[in-house]
Amino acid sequence: MHPAMPHTLDTLDTPAAIVCLPRMQHNIARMQQQAERLGVRLRPHAKTTKCAEVVAAQQAAGASGITVSTLKEAEQFFAQGVTDILYAVGMAPHRLPQALALRQRGCALKILTDSVTGAQAIVDFGRAHAHAFDVLVEIDTDGHRSGITPDDAALLDVGRLLHEGGMRLAGVLTHAGSSYELDTPHALAALAEQERAGCVHAAQRLRAAGLPCPVVSVGSTPTALAAESLEGVTELRAGVYVFFDLVMHNVGVCRTDEIALSVLTTVIGHQADKGWAIVDAGWMAMSRDRGTARQAQDYGYGQVCALDGTPMPGWRMSSANQEHGIVSHSAAPGAQNAPIDVAAALPIGTRLRILPNHACATGAQFPQYHALAEDGAVQAWHRFHGW
């Protein structure tokens, strides 16, 4: 038997998730340099990629530890040799046995809570198993999701309960998720400072009460890149920066030529009277995420690019069914151009690449990425799935 020939973008089956390696490495270096400029460690969030090769590249550039959103990720990355792991989702009591098993096998897993009830469950379980968990308290600095506000009396209640209950009060953590709703440098910088100041204030309150608070952890991709100072912060977390996406482009933190993830697809038909090209990547490939619909520029289900990754102005995936995507062209407002002959512009068999709205959601549709090197060689990278 002859060995299988290596794939290229011309021979891969479609749809396929393509990672442009030069862009990815550029993005990794950019965030690492930002963390170093600000004097903090970078603990990248692995939930975007869930891929050992990507995390290895981040660590090679200087990242220290990782953040995960599921204990399945923690299990998988620990099996790959990563030991310093922060599980940045509120700890549900039924997951404590899994967290304990990871720690007993040598994983330096940190867990999170934002309530007296949650802290009590951790203390009760830890005492019952003679184990001291490393626990961070989640701080709400922007009203976006979960956490205790910096001045809430509950912060000290949770801190005392953990510390006096025999757990290790490891620090405080916040995530300015509302940054995704912004789109100006001034607004992003202001939120980054709000995020920093709120989390540092929470840490200062714990310390003033005689409680330990060694870690002050902040971050979202937009605020991480917009921050002008991280005084009082010890670590920065960000995830989607490694690939970026169209939502991040609209927020204003990346160019389209920095988006490292795209979906390779093939034109399989046309509806000429409607100006549609039909491709074999539907919402099962792109995801149903329509994050740009709420932003100033709506990309539908994604920006259409040529096979070499160059954006094709006016072309977008305007609609999607499960396994069919509809690609169409919208002329600039006021343009008097003749209607585009879509069958002539995009013949059947044409290969395109679609930039995604949300890299995390699009990546989650695929069991593997295809990493595209500068010389055109393609290598398959496994992606973790599940919880």
Residues 131-172: tens digit of each pLDDT: 999 999 999 999 999 999 999 999 999 999 999 999 999 999
Share of the chain above pLDDT 70, in %: 97
- Provide the residue ranges of all domains of the chain, joining segments of one domain with +: 24-242, 256-382
Tokens describing residue 238: 């960000």
Residues near 112 by Cβ (< 8 Å), separated by ≥ 6? 86, 87, 88, 89, 90, 91, 135, 136, 137, 138, 173
Q: Per-residue pLDDT for 1 more than 90?
A: no
Confidence of residue 7 (pLDDT cuts 50, 70, 90): confident
Residues 75-101 pLDDT 10s: 999 999 999 999 999 999 999 999 999
Q: Rounded distance, CA 94 to CA 92, Å?
A: 6
Tell me the average pLDDT of the chain: 96
Query: What is the DSSP track for 303-371?
Result: EEE-TTS-EEEEEEEEEE-SS-EEEEE-PPTT--PPPP-HHHHS-TT-EEEEE-S-HHHHHTT-SEEEE
Q: Rounded distance, CA 158 to CA 156, Å?
A: 5
What's the distance, Cα to Cα, between the start and end of the chain in Å? 39
Q: Rounded distance, CA 15 to CA 214, Å?
A: 46
CA angle at 113 for the pair 107 and 119, rounded to the nearest 5°: 100
Residues 359-373 pLDDT 10s: 999 999 999 999 999
The residue type found at 144 is H
Q: What are φ and ψ of residue 32, in 5° steps?
A: -65, -40
Q: What are φ and ψ of residue 346, in 5° steps?
A: -130, 75
Share of the chain above pLDDT 90, in %: 95
Report the pLDDT averaged over residues 380-384. Answer: 96
Q: Rounded distance, CA 22 to CA 38, Å?
A: 25
Report the pLDDT averaged over residues 168-180. Answer: 97
| β-pairing verdict for 41-42 and 276-279 | unpaired
Residues in the chain, overall count: 387
Q: Rounded distance, CA 180 to CA 71, Å?
A: 25
The residue type found at 13 is D
For domain 256-382, the CATH architecture is Beta Barrel (2.40)
Domains 24-242 and 256-382 share a fold: no
CA distances for 224 relative to 40, 114, 258, 309, 339, angstroms: 11, 23, 17, 27, 43
Q: Rounded distance, CA 46 to CA 258, Å?
A: 19
Q: Rounded distance, CA 148 to CA 26, Å?
A: 36
Tokens describing residue 323: 């396994």
For residue 153, the SS3 value is helix
CA distances for 324 relative to 15, 275, 306, 358, angstroms: 10, 15, 18, 19
CATH number of 24-242: 3.20.20.10
Query: What is the DSSP track for 269-313?
Result: EEEGGGTEEEES--HHHH-S--GGGGSSS--BTEEEE-TTS-EEE
pTM: 0.96
Q: Rounded distance, CA 285 to CA 320, Å?
A: 10
Q: Residue 45 carries which DSSP code?
A: B
